[in-house]
């Protein structure tokens, strides 16, 4: 009998694989179950060898081989290897992240079957007699006799009750058969395609001209018809029978978006986001990998979907933060998309009205093709932008008289008004008017946010809630006042100021529940609301043809933030929100209410727009040596004992050597310096060249893992961090 030594990657935070004994050779990419300590884990095989240099006695046999053929395709295996090296992350956890939950749990791929409807043996004359008083059922039976079809199709054509009646009468039966490999591309039926304008046509031609790998930045102002460019660029790919993957931000994935793709091509569009059930997710994974699906639209983790014949990747709103995972394997789906497109030798289109500085830099330095759309499609024109000076004004519910007057004039003209404030709740703090004490979450050392519906205090870091106090715990005074403004307060204020107009508040609290956002969006579309108040959920990708005024509140903080990305993020948000106005025939305007109307960044953004502003920010980053002109990595550590976390990073810093080519900042407290009772610190490491940084990490991290403190604190490595929280 032969003996095999199988290398297995298991989902544990250890940067190594483990060897197990097996009587059979196991292919790379197959799942096995193995004993690990007292547990049994599902791991991925990375190699099988017939010999072993070590003590064989200590090796354990693996339990079961779950797959005959690899569940991870060669491309996915390559991507996982890339992720492991680039993010310096344990390989077992990388595989784990790349797989749908059910595969992680060791479940089998479902058999890909479908239910078909078939007539039974009953002779036609008898059927006609039996159904003489049920003409609809007879029609349905006749249909099934002439063209047997899937249960889903017949149910759609007739109805579930008719099919059930016929099944009950034993005139129809439902059988399960393997899915026929329908060639979805033969069903493509293109409808509703407008004629591309000059800029769109140039962009589409540029994308379709490329064969093999290339990356594009489609920089188009909001409403310029980027989606139309995607649709027409995809057309050629789909008609050639190749599949496409479309990645969108977490809250940008609405039925509106999906329908645009489904309606244009008339084929099924598979959707992947956090609310898709695990069995559905697995089925999409399987159908995409066997080319039974032409279009997959999904959020971040959809980048791991296997395709047998992928022809193009589109990543919309590429600047959006939700493409970066901020726990576990901290990968950026945009960067992974570039790697994937390269391995698959296909084009990648990154689209945005406010591109990230990283992508913009790649386009300006000609690493990516740069395509630009500078005018709005159709009849719409770009909204005008203004600053409203709130200094010395009598604010009502956080609104200056000037702001209230503008809102009034737009409402009176029967238009919709969108008021944007990126802060949930009623107010961000509760203060004692007598002694100044602010009510803080002890575990996070951060003021509680005040809520009115229902009344409570809630910590935004740890979600802990508390009843509203009546008196100050520090001095006993009963004069407690709120400080600052959130969505609930604006909503309450607008209700007082404009009681005759119906209003809707949209933030992550108000849209909880399935399809809630979709329902609200459709009501907005039907003009059932005149006033829309909300957070950044309202800023993303939605099309509001009746909104003519956008008011932006409460963004002065970002001008003075310790995070060097804050101005970029603010500008992207403001540009996206402003883009919600004037998307149809009516012109739109945006007013930003501020206490810093003379701030040069605001001036530049409002007067010159994102295009000019972002190029200016890039210059500034170059001067001070920040990404994308330097590469960064953050080592994070947290512990209930601040000293341990700090010391760990201090020792870590000593183990990362790169001569004087590495630059260190820290250890310093993270921007979120305490959360859930844990003190958090960061060590920021940066270098001119990516290779220098990676080399330092490659040598340093195994040593850091060996530190005795490494088992006592929670720590992680974040390559290309997007924040210092
Ligand atoms: P973006 O994705 O850049 O925000 P969209 O693709 O959503 O822009 O286009 C904005 C609006 O303009 C949509 O209603 C779209 O149907 C319309 N549109 C886009 N391109 C054209 C075109 N070439 N002709 C007419 N209408 C267009
Ligand atoms: Zn007090
Ligand atoms: Zn808290």
Q: Is 585 exposed, middle or buried (0-12, 13-18, 19+ CB in 10 A)?
A: exposed
| SS3 per residue for 562-582 | CCCCHHHHHHHHHHHHHCCCC
pLDDT for residue 437: 93
The reported pLDDT for the residue numbered 716 is 96
| Atom from ligand 1 closest to the CA of residue 316 | 2
Ligand 1 atom with the shortest distance to the CA of 380: 12
Residue to probe by mutation, ligand 1, list 191, 196, 203, 227, most atoms within 8 Å of CB: 227
d(CA 291, CA 185): 10
Q: How high is the pLDDT of residue 509?
A: 81
Question: What is the position in ligand 1's atom list of the atom closest to the CA of 197?
Answer: 23
Ligand (nearest to CA of 672): 3
Question: Could you tell me which of 21, 67, 22, 24 has the C-alpha nearest to residue 42?
Answer: 67
Give the pLDDT score at 160.
84
| CATH superfamily name and code, 631-719 | Ribosomal protein S10 (3.30.70.600)
Number of neighbouring beta carbons within 10 Å of residue 607? 12
- Relative orientation angle of helices 401-412 and 487-497, to the nearest 10 degrees: 60
Same CATH topology for 184-373 and 384-423+499-621: the answer is yes
What's the topology of domain 384-423+499-621? Rossmann fold (3.40.50)
Instruction: Give percent helix, percent strand, percent coil of the chain, each to the nearest 5.
Output: 35, 25, 40
212: phi > 0 → left, psi -120 to 50 → alpha, else beta; which? Answer: left
User: Shortest CA distance to 539 belongs to which of 506, 512, 588?
Assistant: 506
Q: Which residues contact 375 (CB under 8 A, 6 or more apart)?
A: 197, 199, 221, 224, 382
- Of all protein residues, the one whose alpha carbon is nearest to atom 8 of ligand 1 is 225
How far is the centre of ligand 2, averaged over its atoms, from the C-alpha of 670 (Å)? 29
Q: What is the pLDDT of residue 420?
A: 94
With the most atoms of ligand 1 within 8 angstroms of its CB, the residue from 377, 380, 576, 583 to mutate is 377
Q: Which residues pair with 440 in a beta bridge?
A: 447
What does the alpha-carbon distance between residue 51 and residue 3 come to, in Å, rounded to a whole number?
8
pLDDT of amino acid 255: 79
Ligand nearest to the CA of 449: 3
CA distances to 210, 215, 260, 355, 521 from 207, rounded to whole Å, are: 6, 9, 20, 18, 32
Judge contact between 222 and 542, C-beta under 8 A.
no
**C-alpha to C-alpha distance for 538 and 550, rounded to whole angstroms:** 11
Tell whether the torsion through CA atoms of 410, 412, 415 and 420 is positive or negative. positive
Q: Quick one: tokens of 347?
A: 């084009």
The closest residue, in CA terms, to atom 19 on ligand 1 is: 225
Determine the pLDDT at residue 1.
63
Residue ranges covered by each domain of the chain: 4-104, 113-178, 184-373, 384-423+499-621, 428-483, 631-719
> Cβ distance 569 to 558 under 8 Å?
yes
Where the chain has pLDDT below 70, the residues are 1, 112-113, 179-182, 541, 658-659
What is 184-373's CATH number?
3.40.50.300
Question: For residues 703-715, b (16+ Cβ closer than 10 Å) or e, as one string?
Answer: ebbebebbeebeb
Distance CA 253, CA 540 (A): 9
Q: Tell me, what's the pLDDT at 541?
A: 63
Distance 93 CA to ligand 3 centre (A): 29
Question: What are the φ/ψ torsions at residue 424 (nearest 5 degrees)?
Answer: -80, 170
Nearest to 422 by CA among 344, 494, 484: 484
Outline where DSSP puts E strands in 500-596.
Answer: 503-506, 531-534, 547-553, 589-594
Q: Three-state DSSP class for 722?
A: coil
- Count CB neighbours of 350 within 10 A: 26
> Residue 251 has what pLDDT?
72
Global confidence as pTM: 0.88
CATH H superfamily, domain 4-104: PriA, 3(prime) DNA-binding domain (3.40.1440.60)
Whose Cα sits closest to atom 15 in ligand 1?
225
pLDDT of residue 560: 86
Displacement of CA 107 from its chain's centroid (Å): 26
Ligand with minimal distance to 442 CA: 3
Q: Which residue has the tokens 């006749």?
A: 142
| Alpha carbon distances (Å) from 663 to 382, 632, 680, 700 | 43, 9, 21, 15
Distance separating alpha carbons of residues 70 and 402, to the nearest angstrom: 64
């Amino acid at each position: 009998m032969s003996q095999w030594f199988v290398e297995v990657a298991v989902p544990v935070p250890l940067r190594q694989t483990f060897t197990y004994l097996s009587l059979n050779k196991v292919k790379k990419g197959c799942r096995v179950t193995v004993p690990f300590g007292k547990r049994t884990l599902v791991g991925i095989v990375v190699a099988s060898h017939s010999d072993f240099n070590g003590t064989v006695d200590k090796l354990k046999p693996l339990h079961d081989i779950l797959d005959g053929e690899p569940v991870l395709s060669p491309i996915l295996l390559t991507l996982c290897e890339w992720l492991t090296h680039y993010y310096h992350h344990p390989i077992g956890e990388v595989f784990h992240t790349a797989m749908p939950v059910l595969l992680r749990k060791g479940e089998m791929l479902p058999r890909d079957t479908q239910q078909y409807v078939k007539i039974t043996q009953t002779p036609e004359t008898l059927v006609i007699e039996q159904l003489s008083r049920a003409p609809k059922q007879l029609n349905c039976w006749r249909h099934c006799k002439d063209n047997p079809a899937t249960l889903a199709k017949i149910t759609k054509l007739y109805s579930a009750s008719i099919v059930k009646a016929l099944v009950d009468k034993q005139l129809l039966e439902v059988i399960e058969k393997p899915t026929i490999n329908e060639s979805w591309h033969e069903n493509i039926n293109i409808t509703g395609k407008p004629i591309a304008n000059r800029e769109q046509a140039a962009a589409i031609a540029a994308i379709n001209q490329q064969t093999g790998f290339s990356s594009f930045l489609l920089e188009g102002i909001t409403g310029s018809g980027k989606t139309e460019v995607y649709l027409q660029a995809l057309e050629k790919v789909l008609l050639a029978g190749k599949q496409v993957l479309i990645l969108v931000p977490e809250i940008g994935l609405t039925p509106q978006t999906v329908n645009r793709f489904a309606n244009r091509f008339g084929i099924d569009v598979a959707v992947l986001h956090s609310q898709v059930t695990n069995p559905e997710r697995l089925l999409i994974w399987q159908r995409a990998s066997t080319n039974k699906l032409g279009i997959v639209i999904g959020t971040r983790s959809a980048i791991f979907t296997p395709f047998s014949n992928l022809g193009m990747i589109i990543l919309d709103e590429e600047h959006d933060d939700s493409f970066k995972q901020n726990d576990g394997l901290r990968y950026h789906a945009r960067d992974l998309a570039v790697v994937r497109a390269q391995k698959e030798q296909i084009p990648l289109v990154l689209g945005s009205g406010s591109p990230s500085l990283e992508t913009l830099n790649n386009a300006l330095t000609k690493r990516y093709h740069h395509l630009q759309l500078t005018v709005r499609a159709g009849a719409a024109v770009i909204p005008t932008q203004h600053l409203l000076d709130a200094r010395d004004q009598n604010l009502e519910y956080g609104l200056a008289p000037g702001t209230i007057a503008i809102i009034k004039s737009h409402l009176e003209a029967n238009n919709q008004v969108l008021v944007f404030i990126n802060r949930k709740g009623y107010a961000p703090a509760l203060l004692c008017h007598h002694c100044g004490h602010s009510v803080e979450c002890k575990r996070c050392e951060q003021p509680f946010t005040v809520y009115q519906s229902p009344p409570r205090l809630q910590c935004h870091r740890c979600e802990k809630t508390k009843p509203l106090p009546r008196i100050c715990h520090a001095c006993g005074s009963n004069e407690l006042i709120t400080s600052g403004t959130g969505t609930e307060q604006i909503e309450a204020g607008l209700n007082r100021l404009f009681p005759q107009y119906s209003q809707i508040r949209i933030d992550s609290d108000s849209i909880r529940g399935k399809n809630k956002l979709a329902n609200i969006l459709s009501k907005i579309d039907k003009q059932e609301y005149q006033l829309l108040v909300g957070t950044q959920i309202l800023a993303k990708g939605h099309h509001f043809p009746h909104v003519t005024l956008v008011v932006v509140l409460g963004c002065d903080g970002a001008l003075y933030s310790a995070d060097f990305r804050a101005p970029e993020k603010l500008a992207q948000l403001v540009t996206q929100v402003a883009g919600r106005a004037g998307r149809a025939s009516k012109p739109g305007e945006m007013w930003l209410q501020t206490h810093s109307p003379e701030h040069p960044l605001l001036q530049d953004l409002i007067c010159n727009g994102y295009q000019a502003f972002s190029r200016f920010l890039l210059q500034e980053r170059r001067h001070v040596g920040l990404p994308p002109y330097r590469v960064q990595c953050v080592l994070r550590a947290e512990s209930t004992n601040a000293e341990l976390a700090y010391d760990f990073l201090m020792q870590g810093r000593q183990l990362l050597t790169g001569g004087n080519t590495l630059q260190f900042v820290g250890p310093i407290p993270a921007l979120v310096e305490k959360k859930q009772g844990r003190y958090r610190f960061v060590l920021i490491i940066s270098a001119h060249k990516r290779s220098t940084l990676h080399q330092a990490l490659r040598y340093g991290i195994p040593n850091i893992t060996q530190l005795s403190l490494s088992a006592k604190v929670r720590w992680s490595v974040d390559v290309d961090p997007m924040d210092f929280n």
